[in-house]
Structure 1
Amino acid sequence: MTTAFSSASDAAPAKAGKQSIVSAWDDAHAATLDEAHLLLYRSNLLGADKAITNFGGGNTSAKIPMTDPLSGEQVEVLWVKGSGGDLGSIRLDGFATLYMDKLNALRGRYRGLEHEDEMVGYLPHCTFNLNGRAASIDTPLHAYIPRRHVDHMHPDALIAIAACKNSRALTAQIFEGELGWLPWQRPGYDLGLKLEQMVREQPALKGIVLEGHGLFTWGDTAKSCYENTLNVIRRADAWLGSNATGAAFGGQRHAALPNGERAALAARLMPLLRGKISQAEYKLGHFDDSAAVLEFVCSNDLQALAALGTSCPDHFLRTKIRPLVLDYTPEAPDFDALVAGLDDALEAYRKDYAAYYQRCARANSPAMRDPNPVIYLIPGVGMLSFAKDKATARIAGEFYINAINVMRGANGVDAYVGLPEQEAFDIEYWLLEEAKLQRMPKPKSLAGRVALVTGGAGGIGQAVARQLLAEGACVMLTDIDQSALDSACQALSRQAGSDAVAAVRADITREDDVAGVIDNVALRFGGIDLLVSNAGIASASPLEDTSLETWQRNMSVLATGYFLVSRSAFRSMTSQGLGGSIVYVASKNGLVASAGASAYCTAKAAEIHLARCIALEGAPHGIRVNVVNPDAVIRGSRIWDGKWKEERAASNKIGSDDIEEFYRQRSLLKRSVLPEDIAEAVYFFASEKSAKSTGNILNVDAGNAGAFTR
């Protein structure tokens, strides 16, 4: 069986000062680009390197002369990364464009710090050429720095310096006056004016460090700006590496568990934890046991540093102000004790978060949000992160690794300082951030759900996966055919993104394989909510010609295999306590006997009755079990591409090329049944549309009187 996850090796983590930031600038390529595309090129290069900035973090800009579409005159236009974009993947339409003369005119509208937020409402009035991309709150920071090209990055090395207790003195020492320094301030119009003032007063500066936040750098050309940014980060990184004293995080307290044991523990824990934090909103999980994480969670200073919280606003907006450290001793591993302590640990965290909200809330603050942790640190094991979707959970974990790197760098040369609590709250509950959340589209019907689709490489399996993905679910595919499985996973990833789709090869007739699949689902997504049992084979032969091997193969895959997968999924669903839905893709042949297919028909009948039995046991747990019965799904089916098609054609005394027309004419409605039709029926049973249905059968066969249920 192949696995869908990989854990970090047990190699020692990289230390601060060992990163290698290399210029990727290509002069020949750059020579073919205009100014706007040079900004895009620079942005993509910067965003591609997580040592320079994290996902969605930082922004870039360029002030470009352009022709005004109304006057025909040359005007200066600020191109700046739009709200919510990611530098690594941004395209040209991801940049906001604004008239610089109108941005300068806004100075006359500014009424002081207490009216900061109202300035954002003026930005659309500065839009150049009807560009619909919303400008971010960082626009003034770029607009008022009197340099043509500006980068604002969040490199770990610079934030480590910015988050030191003696940040200002260290900045002066390391950069010998080439970088300015400003105390922490929430991004906005006033900060833009302060940046402008510092640059005008000290024109020789190459950049500015903002305490606890990040770095501003600039240049006269796109290339000089890019290389200036890289040089500053390299210099910071090298200084940290050369000046760090003592063991990172106070030295090692615990030894990490072996690789496989870490993954196994996480796979057992994640569904239990997910169930406890998903009562109000489904959460999806991510596991990380990379070297940097293990160094931190195995350290002496884990508890003390975790309690300080993160510094950079980008970090805690994704991770909450601080993580939850679970009580676990890897030298004396006790999984039951870990689980037994979860409720108390979560309740204590929620109460602490509510107290933080009460201490810091202002009269106009939004209502308190979900008080559950996002980041969970387990000594000797690694880090779990949970969020409303898989990408957000993964990215939250990546941001906390940034925070770990910052703490390592800062404590190595000074003392790490988290952002003051009130400042953190004012960012987390910023009315502008709340307005952004309110503008987000309504969640899809299966958002936050995790589905396992067996037989996932086949036509019906892929159609089902596409339907579930389109409705917001994450999908794990499994199949015995590795090549077909890889192709299916790649195709579905192109549709829904790699975060939402995974695959693991397995033989569902093997108990160990099935257990491995469920572990993979838990480790990849946090648990399981939907099982679509769809793996299939087909055979046809007169009874006297049916071998014992054929009989046993049908029973093994279609009955035993369905039992094994259902049992494992059922156990996981009950441990979560979130209910669930199991859907069997059976067959019309489970209700209507067909001559010459006794093994197949009997096994399909066993599937249907097994589903009814599980429906009885699942109901008290909120687990619904239903059956979809297809008939003659020929197009896209791997079963019909093989011997089965020839056997059924021979049984019906027709040519194999006539098989689809034969079955269409045999149906009451005279219509072909397609994989997408089965997918719609599966979605009905998987979703809340059928919340009051269990133990039911839905025939999707274009009408077959013999299969009418009674």
Structure 2
Amino acid sequence: MPDAQPDDATDVKAALLARSNRLGGDPRNTNYAGGNTSAKGTQRDPVTGGETELMWVKGSGGDLGTLTEQGLAVLRLDRLRALTGVYPGVEREDEMVAAFDYCLHGKGGAAPSIDTAMHGLVDAPHIDHLHPDSGIALACAADGEELTRACFGDRVVWVDWRRPGFQLGLDIAAVKEANPQAIGCVLGGHGITAWGETSQECEANSLRIIQEAERFLAERGRPAPFGPPIAGYGALPAGERQARAAALAPLLRGLVSTDRPQVGHFTDAEPVLDFLARTEHPRLAALGTSCPDHFLRTKVRPMVLDLPPSVEPAEAAARLRELHEEYRAEYAAYYERHADAGSPAMRGADPAIVLVPGVGMFSYGKDKQTARVAGEFYLNAINVMRGAEAVSTYRPIEESEKFRIEYWALEEAKLRRMPAPKPLATRVALVTGAGSGIGRAVAQRLVAEGACVVVADLDGESAATVAKALGGPDKAIAVTVDVTDEEQIAAAFREGVLAFGGVDLVVNNAGISISKPLLETSARDWDLQHDIMARGSFLVSREAARVMTEQAMGGDIVYIVSKNGVFAGPNNIAYSATKADQAHQVRLLAAELGEHGIRVNGVNPDGVVRGSGIFAGGWGAQRAAVYGVPEEKLGEFYAQRTLLKREVLPEHVANAVFALTGGDLTHTTGLHVPVDAGVAAAFLR
């Protein structure tokens, strides 16, 4: 153990975080949130004043690539190592996780992970535990121990599969002590662990193991490890692939949401398409993934469509429904085979990964990031299978061991510690006119409440700015769309379902207004406003209904109408008439779509001046002239004519949209909610 002076603890932590970020920032080294790193040193104990040996280790739930000091658990090594004296044996090793809390040094920091024992019990100042595809390929090969010896000699030692925990830490510690020449080990069915006297040496040893395994697989591997191509199973052309994926996405999302709603992700990455085009993919997919991080995200195996891409979409859809029923029955049987009286209840029998030959991979989770990461993990699994099959035979851990981890009491406790989902979690919204004003405020509120949002606007640059501000592609995407154009609307929905799996909340907000008296209103003025708002809302709602009925998950359509839809104001014939059209669309569609569980409601704002794109575009000046007030005073004028004497802002309209869609008004449809601070003449009758 090198001596680290009190002031050196800062340097130890800084070096650990830098090493972690470098290793975690390269997907060849480890998967998202996978693996952990540690460093040991000394620091002054504020209670005794003396030096105490500490270990800083990545805590539970963190990600190496983005790890900060707050993500580290800090433990006293004397207490951690003393746990070996009270260790009750492998049958009760889970009890040791609670004991880690009694080894913590000070307040704050992350909760210790299940791998804490590995880092604390192994006698090395710096340790990396990683999940590289190349290392797992050796770990999951039928003759992995022999291949590890052939690849590394005695510098990297094989450790038989054992579930992560205290005993695995003891196993690795014993292997290191018996092999002083070793720089690390390959953990059967799992990953790699490396160590070093310095942070730099530890990182170099980790990279050496990963890169030597990559070279070994490349040099020793046979060509076409997944077998020859299957006739007719090649990838469809890119455009056709995307169109087929978009057509299947709503159906699939509805199927995999049988137990609980899911958000989706789609990829047609070349390794996925190549895997699905070759003869061995059914066998390998059925074997499932191996690394615990993999199958906890992807489930024990994917659902695979067993038809070529040339089949008609209707035939593919029918077969997917059959396969889904079979998958659920098989998963329930898997649970029954291995569950005992102490097992947690089955969490859901739907697949997390769906593979469609010639098209690509659909992955699912509780939010977009989880869905995307699940797909990334299965791509890791494909790489692992390729490597193992290239030099041997892919042999993942036993199904019973997978169940022990998937339904581990510690995993269940981890899930229960997660915060409650937000009201709109798993909901996917498409908001028109979302590049500014009310639409932007609605998008902001929906994302804040947990939804994923398709930010649709005629101004693509504004839409992109809003989507970026909302958090980027795991939260929001931007689409450029003219709501008067049927194809552009269909394209916007295709982008939405490819990004998030489907769409189940639509806000018709796009609008324009030209304030003129009757004799000055041209046919073009009339047509333009009706095309954008009446026709546009109709076209968007029609496309939304197609997606929502295919998903069979219900849904919400909200129209941003206006007080003018029910109030006869001066010099406003075209705008008010089209708003009345929208208002009646709400009633008509509520009546028609109710049988599909789709609720249709409206919001009637008035006097939204600040932040409004319509008012900034000239409407404000026109209305100010009508009422004889300065334009900058228009908001105040509108406020004073209301019962509440309050100005209406875009976020107030957004609040009403959330109220209609956030879960409390589940039995409300065909309603118009006024957001006008009280305009008595616009009261609904």
TM-score, normalised to structure 1's length? 0.94
CA distance in 1, matches of 2:80, 2:9: 30
SS of the equivalent of 2:22 reads: helix
Shift of the alpha carbon at 1:147?
Answer: 0.7
SS of the equivalent of 2:570 reads: coil
Aligned pair partner of 1:120 in 91, 97, 102: 97
1:259 corresponds in structure 2 to 238
- The answer as to whether partners of 2:437 and 2:611 remain within 8 angstroms in 1 is yes
- The answer as to whether partners of 2:71 and 2:109 remain within 8 angstroms in 1 is no
Residue identity in the other structure for 2:263: L
2:18 corresponds in structure 1 to 41
* 2:667 matches 1:688: no
- The answer as to whether partners of 2:256 and 2:352 remain within 8 angstroms in 1 is no
CA distance in 1, matches of 2:420, 2:495: 29
Shift of the alpha carbon at 1:198?
Answer: 1.2
- The answer as to whether partners of 2:453 and 2:476 remain within 8 angstroms in 1 is yes
Aligned pair partner of 2:558 in 580, 583, 592: 583
Aligned pair partner of 1:373 in 343, 347, 351: 351
Aligned pair partner of 1:358 in 330, 336, 349: 336
2:464 corresponds in structure 1 to 486
Shift of the alpha carbon at 1:130?
Answer: 2.1
1:278 corresponds in structure 2 to 257
Shift of the alpha carbon at 1:33?
Answer: 7.0
SS of the equivalent of 2:484 reads: coil
Residue identity in the other structure for 1:87: L
SS of the equivalent of 2:614 reads: coil
- The answer as to whether partners of 1:217 and 1:225 remain within 8 angstroms in 2 is yes
1:389 corresponds in structure 2 to 367
Aligned pair partner of 1:509 in 478, 484, 508: 484
Residue identity in the other structure for 1:317: L
Aligned pair partner of 2:443 in 453, 465, 469: 465
Aligned pair partner of 1:67 in 30, 44, 49: 44
CA distance in 2, matches of 1:248, 1:114: 39
Aligned pair partner of 1:703 in 675, 678, 681: 678
Greater relative contact order: 1 or 2 (C-alpha under 8 angstroms, separation 6 or more)? 1
CA distance in 2, matches of 1:152, 1:471: 36
Shift of the alpha carbon at 1:362?
Answer: 2.7
- Which deviations, in whole Å up to 9, do the C-alpha atoms of 1:418-441 show, x marking residues without a partner? 111111111111110011112222
- The answer as to whether partners of 1:328 and 1:334 remain within 8 angstroms in 2 is no
2:379 corresponds in structure 1 to 401
CA distance in 2, matches of 1:285, 1:459: 29
Aligned pair partner of 1:456 in 434, 455, 461: 434
Aligned pair partner of 1:166 in 104, 125, 143: 143
Shift of the alpha carbon at 1:608?
Answer: 0.5
- Match runs of 1:560-639 below 5 Å: 560-639=535-614
- Which deviations, in whole Å up to 9, do the C-alpha atoms of 1:114-152 show, x marking residues without a partner? 110001110000001123421001000011111101000
Aligned pair partner of 2:312 in 323, 334, 347: 334
CA distance in 2, matches of 1:255, 1:469: 38
- The answer as to whether partners of 2:33 and 2:63 remain within 8 angstroms in 1 is yes
Shift of the alpha carbon at 1:345?
Answer: 0.7
- Which deviations, in whole Å up to 9, do the C-alpha atoms of 1:258-281 show, x marking residues without a partner? 111111111111111222232331
SS of the equivalent of 1:310 reads: coil
- 426-435 or 247-256: bigger deviation: 247-256
- Which deviations, in whole Å up to 9, do the C-alpha atoms of 1:610-652 show, x marking residues without a partner? 1111111011111111110000111111111121111111111
CA distance in 2, matches of 1:658, 1:111: 76
Shift of the alpha carbon at 1:513?
Answer: 0.4
* 2:78 matches 1:101: yes
Residue identity in the other structure for 2:55: L
CA distance in 2, matches of 1:469, 1:337: 36
Residue identity in the other structure for 1:195: I
2:117 corresponds in structure 1 to 140
Shift of the alpha carbon at 1:385?
Answer: 0.9
- The answer as to whether partners of 1:286 and 1:385 remain within 8 angstroms in 2 is yes
- The answer as to whether partners of 2:264 and 2:499 remain within 8 angstroms in 1 is yes
SS of the equivalent of 2:65 reads: coil
Shift of the alpha carbon at 1:688?
Answer: 2.2
CA distance in 2, matches of 1:552, 1:64: 75
- The answer as to whether partners of 2:154 and 2:181 remain within 8 angstroms in 1 is no
CA distance in 1, matches of 2:171, 2:339: 27
SS of the equivalent of 1:62 reads: strand
1:309 corresponds in structure 2 to 288
* 2:155 matches 1:189: no
* 2:424 matches 1:420: no
Residue identity in the other structure for 2:528: R
- Which deviations, in whole Å up to 9, do the C-alpha atoms of 1:165-220 show, x marking residues without a partner? 11011111110111011110001111111111111121110101101110001111
CA distance in 2, matches of 1:400, 1:279: 22
- Which deviations, in whole Å up to 9, do the C-alpha atoms of 1:25-60 show, x marking residues without a partner? xxxxxx997110110111011111011000010000
* 2:297 matches 1:322: no
* 2:497 matches 1:522: yes
- Which deviations, in whole Å up to 9, do the C-alpha atoms of 1:468-501 show, x marking residues without a partner? 11221111110001121111111111xxx63121
Shift of the alpha carbon at 1:547?
Answer: 1.8
Shift of the alpha carbon at 1:399?
Answer: 0.3
When the two chains are superposed, the root-mean-square deviation of aligned CA atoms in Å is 1.3
SS of the equivalent of 1:152 reads: strand
CA distance in 2, matches of 1:182, 1:684: 56
1:293 corresponds in structure 2 to 272
Shift of the alpha carbon at 1:311?
Answer: 1.3
- The count of residues paired between Structure 1 and Structure 2 equals 676
Residue identity in the other structure for 2:217: L
1:82 corresponds in structure 2 to 59
- The answer as to whether partners of 2:36 and 2:57 remain within 8 angstroms in 1 is yes
Residue identity in the other structure for 1:350: R
CA distance in 2, matches of 1:88, 1:346: 36
CA distance in 2, matches of 1:310, 1:294: 18
Shift of the alpha carbon at 1:506?
Answer: 0.5
Residue identity in the other structure for 1:397: G
Question: Unpaired runs of 5+ in structure 2?
Answer: 1-7
- The answer as to whether partners of 1:69 and 1:129 remain within 8 angstroms in 2 is no
- The answer as to whether partners of 2:435 and 2:466 remain within 8 angstroms in 1 is yes
Question: Unpaired runs of 5+ in structure 1?
Answer: 1-30
Shift of the alpha carbon at 1:599?
Answer: 0.9
Aligned pair partner of 1:437 in 397, 405, 415: 415
- 579-588 or 440-449: bigger deviation: 440-449
SS of the equivalent of 1:689 reads: coil
SS of the equivalent of 2:75 reads: strand
Residue identity in the other structure for 1:258: P
1:546 corresponds in structure 2 to 521
- 251-260 or 184-193: bigger deviation: 251-260
* 2:133 matches 1:149: no
Residue identity in the other structure for 2:174: Q
- The answer as to whether partners of 1:540 and 1:647 remain within 8 angstroms in 2 is yes
State the percentage of identical aligned residues.
49
Residue identity in the other structure for 1:382: G
Residue identity in the other structure for 1:692: H
2:647 corresponds in structure 1 to 672
TM-score, normalised to structure 2's length? 0.97
CA distance in 2, matches of 1:327, 1:194: 42
- The answer as to whether partners of 1:297 and 1:381 remain within 8 angstroms in 2 is no
SS of the equivalent of 1:690 reads: coil
SS of the equivalent of 1:398 reads: helix
- The answer as to whether partners of 2:259 and 2:349 remain within 8 angstroms in 1 is no
CA distance in 1, matches of 2:109, 2:616: 49
- 643-652 or 354-363: bigger deviation: 354-363
SS of the equivalent of 1:341 reads: helix
SS of the equivalent of 1:366 reads: coil
